[in-house]
Amino acid sequence: MTTPFINRGNGNSGFKRLPIIAGNWKMNKTVDESLLLVDEMIDDLDAIEGVEIVLCPPFVALYSVLDLLEDTGVGLGAQNMYHQNSGAYTGEISPLMLREICDYVILGHSERRTYFGETNELVNLKVKAALKHDIRPIMAVGENLAQRQAEETSAFVTAQVREGLAGIDIADIPTIVLAYEPIWAIGTGLAATGAMAQEVCALIRQTVAELYTQEVAEQVRIQYGGSVTAKNIEEFMSQPDIDGGLVGGASLNADDFIQIVVKTLEVSSKK
Ligand code: PGA
């Protein structure tokens, strides 16, 4: 696996967090369509250095997409995973199956939590299983509209981070990516503002610092997700605690996704 840090080269204060853009295709694209989409963007994506790029197609397309990503710098991620290695879990996919193909796995996405009843406890088991098998988790957290309106965002997101990371060794923390995705912003076209997203991402980093150390919290990469587009990515990437994006709808269009990565690089090189 590549290291998630770029060395500043100044020899002392350490590193700069390597920005990471992940495309969460959700339940979209057949295998053929997946290959077409990757084909449309892979050359441009591969030419970009300084941003880690991860494509997360549906399970059935992972293997074919992997073929196209071979010898490129673009990584592959799954959208979910069960925490057991094998057994009578009809319909589930295990870390042993994914570790052969994937660098990353998205865990605890709000759609999994809402439609499939995933709890913080289950997400925690999955994060631990991924780490055990050298798959990097992208653990998603975020509040719904009612929680935001009731000013419960901080308490809710903090609990998701604390419970999702419970019992995880400090040595594993820098390999985890946390994604802040306010549910009201996902797929709605109503993205958070940069300031709103920064406020919660700073809180997430603070929570990691309280659980572990400030030093390790500074190494964790935090993405914003929720109606990210080529038009608004700069606003998010300009925030000090936002290190990338988890992109849904806009990752299904080659030009949009390439633009998002290009703009991420532009902003992050000035950070
Ligand atoms: P969206 O989805 O970009 O379509 O809002 C983001 C996500 O759910 O990861």
Cα distance between residue 217 and residue 214, in whole Å:
5
* Ligand 1, atom nearest to 187 Cα: 5
Tens of pLDDT, residue by residue over 121-174, are: 999 999 999 999 999 999 999 999 999 999 999 999 999 999 999 999 999 999
Q: Write down all domains in the chain, each with its CATH number in brackets.
A: 20-268 (3.20.20.70)
In this predicted model, what pLDDT tens digit does every residue of 188-213 receive, in sequence order? 999 999 999 999 999 999 999 999 99
> How far is 241 from 245, CA to CA, in rounded Å?
12
User: Is 52 one of the annotated active-site residues of the chain?
Assistant: no
Give the residue whose CA is nearest to atom 2 of ligand 1.
248
**What is the CA(216)–ligand 1 centre distance, in A?**
27
The two three-digit tokens of residue 186, written as one number: 């996902």
Q: Quickly state the pLDDT bin for 9 (edges 50, 70, 90).
A: very low
Cβ pair 187, 228 in contact under 8 A: no
Reported pTM: 0.95
**CA 249–ligand 1 middle distance (angstroms):** 6
Annotated active-site residue 181? The verdict is: yes
Residue 233 in tokens: 């990515």
Residue 10 has pLDDT above 90, yes or no: no
Q: Which among 162, 172, 170 has a CA at the least distance from the CA of 120?
A: 162
